[in-house]
Structure 1
């Protein structure tokens, strides 16, 4: 047998295929992980924007969310379902096939009462996601708008 023949042995081909397969598996797991993170960040961004938009809506028309004044809260989807007098579409919103829950909490201390402001906190949750996506935004609403 002539030793000067050029070419690859079976062992060299198997080692190179093993290395190539390892590199492809690592690269594909990187892309899968980055896709998962991107999806989570997108849903978190939707929750943040939904919380901000809800606070804006409350500042413009508080009666659409806060139906019983300061003593009626917290205003949640579950409490809304138990109350026959309100429409609950403001507390559960479907965006991109995900159900976001909105909770509104109102409070007022003595300083806020003197200047006729109410502290409003909006919490948005995507409960069916692992990990659960939660975000909150706070702001103020004129006290006169929240009189029961």
Structure 2
């Protein structure tokens, strides 16, 4: 068995940490220190970008599997929660409290916006493809339609 490169080990450790922290956030646990979380997300994107530029390395298959799991968590679970938080600011509920129903309800709208931007930057860094560009345009249209509605 070929040993895993230090770059790949760092990538795997970082994505495992990110998955754990974002999952905790989704489960209503106390929000992690957001600046550190978003900085780690950007660092992970840079590591992914460097991995794709260098080509295949030892252990990269494991790293890519974890990166796909992180991407699914962010796109399928975290983004809808962030949109709920931003929607709650734009359209307070009928009780007038304006509180979102999401588990991430303790996150402010400013933090939700920063997290949304960080996820878009991460995806652009980690997956610089035409599909990513199309996905970002779709996300921007969705966000605009929610704000304009």
TM-score for the superposition, normalised by structure 1 = 0.30
Bigger RCO of structures 1 and 2 (CA < 8 A, at least 6 apart): 2
Higher Cα radius of gyration: 1
- More helix per residue: 1 or 2? 2
TM-score for the superposition, normalised by structure 2 = 0.30
- More strand per residue: 1 or 2? 1
